[in-house]
Structure 1
Amino acid sequence: MNELLLLGISFKTAPVALRERLAFNDVSGPAFCRELVQSDAVSEAVVISTCNRTEIYVVAPDPVRAEADLLGRLATRAAIRPTELTDIVYAPRNCDAARHLYRVTGGLDSMIVGEAEVQGQVKRAYETALSAGTTGPLTNRLFTAALQTGKRVRTETGVGASRTSVSTVAVDLAREVVGDLADRHVVIIGAGETSELTAQALHAHGVRTIFVANRHADRARSIAQRFGGTVSSLHDLPERIVEADVVVASTSSPHPIIETDVLAEVVAERGGRPLVLIDIAVPRDVEAGAGELDGVTLYDIDDLQAVVSRNLVGREGERDTAEAIVEDEILRFAKWMGQLDVQPTIAALRRMGEDVVETVLAENAGRWESVSARDRARIDAVARAVMQRLLHEPTIRLKSGDHASGHGRLQLARELFGLDDGQAADATDRDAPPAEVRELRRGRS
């Protein structure tokens, strides 16, 4: 019987220096999922990788084995020993794993409570895994339900009312450090969603930004037109930094964009003017040594926490309502998950009973030479009636048990009766993706 397992690290458990070593991008994430499902330890997999977390959701018949396998793969990826990961990795299962994802999607587990970007990040992670063919009945239900939960949290509570995000916090930090931004030169490296939100926040303070991007130059020009900025290439980045007061870096590059040695040459041309670098990318876009150069102040994603703490005021009152929504949705998921294997388990239980009856009747067939065909039919009927009465109460309890503990109840029943997963009834109906998944697929076609 398959179980849901989450293995993850976040800003709560690991610094950015370690998170960046376990980060995935649009290419490596799907490749990792495909690698997982090709093994016999995992049947479904989805990877979420943001500036604040890397989480792998898998479905596995043996979660203990799957967890050990995942730890080994992540340790290899980060080039550290698996034992070094055990202190920073969290690994909830089943409804606990679902609850965590619901809270993430609702912005309740974010550095910035109620942040808007995380809902889109979860949706993109799921759609990427869906396109890669690594989802299945359990993860399809899990992620569509999580996205619905996130929508409820945002529409039914005021958790995300102020629309604070990593981008707006980065701009707040820049204002704290250099003062009024209206007459400052600001450079944004990157042209993704985070860069767009940063440009929007800067535009509200009267800043005309310079976008530096190669990979998404067309998108950079589109953003620049909307927010009154200009566009430059990465080749011209040193020249742009010479003129800048603030640089905000947010790309998906696996390697640093600003290297310490190159920046040192740029700083020498600035005539002693201070430079503020705000790196909100994971992996980081700016080498850590850059912050040690004279006149350079470097902040990374973890340094935003002090600013974030002040933005939490007024949001905590909405948290209880949001948490209640999460629990309401978890009850729905628990009920569904509890029923996911009920019918196959009951079918396997009854097949076991039938096998016992057939075996006992066959073993004793030679003792009944003088028994008539009519009496043989009666013996057969009595044996099957005894089997059915013995299994009646377990069947009723399996169907009507507490949904929150239903998964454990099924697992216990299968262990007590020695039921093999291979005996499960045909699962064609539950392998069909839910309507929400079919809608996502149509939207991409």
Structure 2
Amino acid sequence: MSQGGGGELLCLGISHKTAPVAVRERLALTVKDQQALCAELVATDVVREAVAISTCNRTEVYVVGDPVSAETELLGRLAQHAGTRPTELAEAMYAPRNCDAARQLYRVVSGLESMIVGEAEIQGQTKRAYEAALEAGTTGPLTNRLFTAALQTGKRVRSETAIGEGRGSVSSVAVSLARDIMGPDLAKRDVVIIGAGETSELTAQALADEGVRTIFVANRHADRARSIAERFGGSVSSLHDLPDRLAEADIVVSSTASPHPIIGVDELAVVMREREGAPLLLIDIAVPRDVDPACGELDGVTLYDIDDLQQVVTRTREVREAERVQAEGVVEDEIQRFARWMGQLDVMPTIAALREHGDTIVDQVLAENAGRWESASPRDRARIEALAKSVMQRLLHEPTIRLKSVDRDGGHGRVQFARELFGLAEGVPEVPEVADAAAEADVRPLRRRGASGQ
């Protein structure tokens, strides 16, 4: 292992770029699922730290440990969660390591990997995932540094570039789709929002901008639903009354954290008969999906899921290339800072161990030969000791220079080779303190607040 025995950084993930929603929804993790998975991982011998992120477009787990063993362990647990074989799941997954893994997280938080480039929701989703891992006690020096720095990078990208202008989000695209299908005057339509999470709130905001008064359907977060409804002039109903709401609605947007469909095909068939042919638009932006895909086959029903929105995204993706390039430049700048910090995790403890190893050898050789110069004066003995240490220092000078200048991408393996070459112990040294007030400022309040995931 590199990192002075602490392990390497690994990300194992799946996203809208590598798998359809039918696959992604099987890997969707609730906050409790995330905490349980991370706790199970750090309880093994191959993972020391773990943080899991799960949104409608991705599930990613960042771990610190032996990269090969950790990847195998994590892939097996995710496959078990998805109810499939690891070999099948592996085809849709990516597994960057070390700085490449950090780069992936930085890009995710900055909105560069989102379906809608620059969307802002992912910043809060990542923050809550990190808070959940903090509460579960599964983070450590490397993941703490990684996530606080990534969140700071996301803030910097949005403050220094215009990549997030226009409030682009899945919610706004869903409303745009509804307008395209149902006509420009949405204010005349009856709209139902199922769920009361952040995505539902953003959807309500986008609808309010169109003059729409919405009905919120929610049981689990009824208080939050009432609060949102008051802000946007809507009303609240319970899931028990959902069939009645469906019978009256023109447009339904659903975004809950339910592990099972909320709208089934048989139940909706009954509702559609009551509607006597009146069309119904269902926009399902939840993962796992809230609406049974078979509902789309019913007469009068038009159903779009999260992947269908990709077509709208493609038509509306006009993020200026200059903004993307500038945002990527910010990410790469921050990655170099992280790379230097990671390099210190490997190099400085190794150099210290190498020096200590040399001093130990000098002391041993002097002790073994102490009887050979009984007649030597204290001054001569001091000269012999100084000569021995000088030889040691000159011998280790070049290896020290080379270690300090190792390439950031390939340096972890070279440092590990140096430890093996000189027979250095695999201790777990203290993580070097690197000044980063911005990152530390984020860690402390996160720890105080604990998890607040949706």
State the alpha-carbon separation in 2 of the partners of residues 435 and 167 from structure 1. Answer: 31
Aligned residue in 2 for 1:237: 242
Structure 2 SS opposite 1:90: coil
Aligned residue in 1 for 2:119: 115
Amino acid at match of 1:81: R
Partner of residue 441 from structure 1, selected from 425, 440, 447: 447
Structure 2 SS opposite 1:43: strand
CA distance 1:426–1:442, shift in 2 (3 Å)? closer
Aligned residue in 2 for 1:65: 69
State the alpha-carbon separation in 1 of the partners of residues 328 and 130 from structure 2. Answer: 23
Cα pair 1:188 1:248 within 8 Å, conserved: yes
CA RMSD of aligned residues (A): 2.2
- Tell me, yes or no, if structure 1 residue 261 matches structure 2 residue 266: yes
Cα pair 2:135 2:450 within 8 Å, conserved: no
Structure 1 SS opposite 2:47: coil
State the alpha-carbon separation in 2 of the partners of residues 240 and 4 from structure 1. Answer: 48
CA distance 1:123–1:273, shift in 2 (3 Å)? same
State the alpha-carbon separation in 2 of the partners of residues 85 and 38 from structure 1. Answer: 23
Aligned residue in 1 for 2:139: 135
Corresponding residue pairs, total: 441
State the alpha-carbon separation in 2 of the partners of residues 23 and 387 from structure 1. Answer: 56
- Tell me, yes or no, if structure 1 residue 172 matches structure 2 residue 172: no
Aligned residue in 2 for 1:96: 100
State the alpha-carbon separation in 2 of the partners of residues 292 and 58 from structure 1. Answer: 42
CA offset at residue 414 of structure 1? 2.1
CA offset at residue 371 of structure 1? 6.0
CA offset at residue 253 of structure 1? 0.9
CA offset at residue 379 of structure 1? 4.3
Higher relative contact order (CA 8 A, sep 6+): 2
Aligned residue in 2 for 1:389: 394
State the alpha-carbon separation in 2 of the partners of residues 277 and 373 from structure 1. Answer: 95
- Tell me, yes or no, if structure 1 residue 78 matches structure 2 residue 103: no
Q: Normalising by the residue count of structure 2, what TM-score does the alignment of the two structures yield?
A: 0.91
Partner of residue 346 from structure 2, selected from 341, 344, 351: 341
CA offset at residue 235 of structure 1? 0.3
Cα pair 1:335 1:404 within 8 Å, conserved: no
Partner of residue 49 from structure 1, selected from 48, 54, 61: 54
Cα pair 2:264 2:291 within 8 Å, conserved: yes
Structure 1 SS opposite 2:92: coil
State the alpha-carbon separation in 1 of the partners of residues 374 and 425 from structure 2. Answer: 38
Structure 2 SS opposite 1:64: helix
Amino acid at match of 1:332: R
Gaps of 5+ in 2: none
CA offset at residue 77 of structure 1? 1.0
State the alpha-carbon separation in 1 of the partners of residues 248 and 320 from structure 2. Answer: 38
Aligned residue in 1 for 2:39: 34
State the alpha-carbon separation in 2 of the partners of residues 426 and 119 from structure 1. Answer: 30
Deviations 1:184-213 (A, max 9, x none): 111110011100111111111121111100
CA offset at residue 429 of structure 1? 5.7
Deviations 1:195-250 (A, max 9, x none): 01111111111211111000111111111111111110000001110111111110
Gaps of 5+ in 1: none
Aligned residue in 2 for 1:3: 8
Report % sequence identity.
70
State the alpha-carbon separation in 2 of the partners of residues 46 and 250 from structure 1. Answer: 24
State the alpha-carbon separation in 2 of the partners of residues 418 and 237 from structure 1. Answer: 68
- Tell me, yes or no, if structure 1 residue 182 matches structure 2 residue 184: no
State the alpha-carbon separation in 1 of the partners of residues 162 and 373 from structure 2. Answer: 80
State the alpha-carbon separation in 2 of the partners of residues 370 and 218 from structure 1. Answer: 87
Cα pair 1:334 1:406 within 8 Å, conserved: no
Deviates more, 1:7-16 or 1:336-345: 336-345
State the alpha-carbon separation in 2 of the partners of residues 80 and 256 from structure 1. Answer: 20
CA distance 1:73–1:159, shift in 2 (3 Å)? same
Deviations 1:358-416 (A, max 9, x none): 454566667x3866475665544433322221112222332344555544442332233
State the alpha-carbon separation in 2 of the partners of residues 149 and 428 from structure 1. Answer: 21
CA offset at residue 265 of structure 1? 1.4
Amino acid at match of 1:441: R
CA offset at residue 92 of structure 1? 0.5
CA offset at residue 289 of structure 1? 1.4
CA offset at residue 299 of structure 1? 0.9
State the alpha-carbon separation in 1 of the partners of residues 295 and 144 from structure 2. Answer: 43
State the alpha-carbon separation in 2 of the partners of residues 398 and 291 from structure 1. Answer: 61
CA offset at residue 274 of structure 1? 1.4
Amino acid at match of 2:19: A
Aligned residue in 2 for 1:420: 425
